[in-house]
Structure 1
Amino acid sequence: MALAARYDDLVIRPDHTHDQPRDRYTPEDHAVWRDLFRRQAALLPGRACDEFLAGLKGLGVASDGVPDFERLSDVLEQATGWRIVCVPGLVPDDIFFGHLAARRFPVTWWIRQRAQLDYLQEPDCFHDIYGHVPLLMNPVFADYMQAYGKGGLKAAGLNALHHLARLYWYTVEFGLIEQKNGDLRIYGSGILSSKTESIFCLDSPAPNRIRFDLMRVMRTRYRIDTFQKTYFVIRSFDDLFNATRPDFTPLYAQLRGQPDFTAADIAPQDDVVTRGTLNATDGGWGDTADA
């Protein structure tokens, strides 16, 4: 069944949400979920951050098929006050920020087709549920996401959304974290839901790994058609939240007079993070990554 035919008759509310149409998932949809889940579950121990793995376990996300969003919401709400809201796909910026500010995370209801296991241009429910939602079980990260939503509503009126989008991209989607034992781990959902980038981001010598700096991040363009050229590394979620807690209004004013960095640039002031062992060679990696 064509994707459009599977949701064009859903009742969409003014906030772009709708009920999860669980009866529309096919046996193949559940099989795709199982295959995606199992390969990430085998790959991520030792690569994903401790907070993600704890959230995944506490949330009770399982490998048996596309989960019931309401059940997950009930668990999530008990932990951090967040809920999942079902949406047909990408939603307008103001709607997205409004949901985050109210501690609601928009989750796409449909799942990719088997031919898209390794690359998808827009997020599906595996990316949203498996990649994003477990970290919302962590109180500090949950507060960061709400603060980001509130900041987005303000940025829209200051013509600064492109700067804030870069922050989301390099943290929520493609962030790395240094754990207390010094290990470099993944927390970005775009990596966590991708087999190939879960390996590339830690093992390849090709990308830059730079210590997180808020202004540097907001000046850095990003690529959506390839593996990331640069990953920014935080020390902890507390550090991330504290760095982004202040009002960004004066920062946006400063950014207007500064040039952007490309996705691959290294600046003289960058604190480059090196990893003890990088065994892979650049030649072994492709040019596409999961959505």
Structure 2
Amino acid sequence: MIYRHGHPIPRVKYTEEEVETWGKIFRKLRELHMRYACKEFLEHWDELAVYCDYREDNIPQLEDINRYLKSKTGFQVRPVAGYLTPRDFLAGLAFRVFHCTQYIRHSSDPFYTPEPDCCHELLGHMPMFADASFAQFSQEIGLASLGASEQEISKLVSCYFFTVEFGICREGKDWKAYGAGLLSSAAELERTILGIQDGSVELLPLDGERVFSAELVVTDYQNQYFFTETIEEAKDFVRNIANSIQKTSELRYNPYTQTVDILNSSDKIIDLAKDLRGDLCLVASALKKVQEKDTEIDTELIANYLSRGLDITPYQSRPSSPTSSVSPTKFGESLTIPTKKM
């Protein structure tokens, strides 16, 4: 593979057999996606068809997807020839880079492959990386990996594996997949959702002890899967794990310079707080204007989103369990969230 960072990603001329294999997978997965994929996944599919030429008789090119994702979420894709080490892969996420393969699985078994290929990357991951919130969540896992020990990397890999790759959530009364490993494998997706419904597949609540002790199967279907009621709950779970990693300082990605800033002084933290305060004031102002037209807007939910992740309790005073609930220190003096008019 000939590629240099900063240059356009080379376009691949796929063979007729490879395009035919893609078409078989594409048709079957689209049928299953409409039944079993989460709403966030489905919301971004149509744009991929328009801007990246997603269709059954064409394998999309990474350069087209790269341009689309950069305009949507700031993520970039880079071609790789195969597996990266877990540390290298997660480090890429920290800089909003997702490493993608360009080869396609063998035509003899189109509906399942034990290793990543372009069907896995393009049909499983890309719709979710077009979702701003999910892309941010993926990057946070990567940022948590920078400077982490091998033991902590192992925990982050388990979190990533059972959420981003094989995560399941509930939408109403239905089970939906948001993990790319499921959404790119017709055989495993159908077997898993139907197995959950009839009780033949083990589905467990997303829990640290269970996740860290579970086997990460890469050559066959998973022995068990983990669920949350919503994708937001899965994000909170992984963020709690990431926040439990002991580091001397926190890291923040700067989207303007595409670098990582080390927050190791009060001046840097104050500068960041000023930036955040401006955004929070903008949110409050926007809410007031929207509420004049929409009295049903749930301001308590929005306020909870804003406050839930802010815990400035000294690290040594925090509970030992990364999944313990901690009431955040009050911070709302500068942000007045309008309440509903009764």
Q: Could you tell me the TM-score, scaled by structure 1's length?
A: 0.75
Q: Does 1:94 align with 2:87?
A: yes
The one-letter code of the counterpart of 2:178 is: Y
Give yes or no for the alignment of 1:76 onto 2:65.
no
Using the TM superposition, name which of 213-222 and 168-177 deviates more: 213-222
Distance between the aligned counterparts of 1:223 and 1:92, measured in 2?
Answer: 16
Match of 2:117?
124
Distance 2:241 2:107 in 1: 44
The answer for the alignment partner of 1:197 in structure 2 is 188
- The percent of aligned pairs where both chains have the same amino acid is 30
**2:231 matched residue in structure 1:** 237
1:66 — aligned with what?
59
Report the equivalent of 2:29.
40
When the two chains are superposed, the root-mean-square deviation of aligned CA atoms in Å is 2.3
Within the candidate set 49, 54, 71, 2:38 is matched to 49
| Partner in structure 2 of residue 27 of structure 1 | 16
Change (3 A) 1:223 1:93: closer
* Structure-2 change in CA distance of 1:18 and 1:132 (3 Å): farther
Distance in 1 (CA, whole Å) between partners of 2:124 and 2:154 is: 23
Please list the CA deviations of residues 162-220 of structure 1 after superposition, one character each: whole Å capped at 9, or x if unmatched: 222211221111111111x2311011111111111111111122221112223431232
Segments of 4+ moved more than 3 angstroms:
16-21, 246-252
Q: Provide the rounded CA distance (Å) in 2 between the counterparts of 1:209 and 1:18.
A: 44
Aligned to 1:219: 213
Indicate the SS of the match to 2:237.
helix
Name the aligned partner's letter for residue 182 of structure 2: I
Distance 1:54 1:249 in 2: 30
Structure 2 CA distance for aligned equivalents of residues 154 and 232 of structure 1:
28
Q: TM-score, normalised by structure 2?
A: 0.64
**1:44 and 1:198 in contact (8 A); partners too:** no
Specify the code of the residue in structure 1 equivalent to 2:235: F
- Does residue 11 of the first structure (1) align with residue 11 of the second (2)? no
The structure-2 alpha-carbon separation of the partners of 1:17 and 1:213, relative to structure 1 and needing over 3 Å to count, comes to farther
Larger relative contact order (CA 8 Å, sep ≥ 6):
1
Larger Rg over CA atoms: 2
Q: Give the counterpart letter for 1:144 in structure 2.
A: F
Counting only pairs closer than 5 Å after superposition, residues 101-250 of structure 1 correspond to structure 2 as 101-155=94-148, 157-179=149-171, 181-204=172-195, 205-246=199-240, 248=242, 250=244
Distance (Å, rounded) in 2 between the aligned partners of 1:79 and 1:33: 25
- Tell me if the contact between 2:23 and 2:56 (Cα under 8 Å) persists in the aligned partners: yes
CA pair 63-161 structure 1, distance change in 2 beyond 3 A: same
Which whole-Å CA distance do the structure 1 matches of 2:244 and 2:141 have between them?
Answer: 16
CA contact (8 A) 2:87 2:153 kept: no
Gaps in structure 1 of 5+ consecutive residues: 1-9, 253-291
Distance 1:154 1:240 in 2: 23
Distance 1:136 1:206, change over 3 A: same
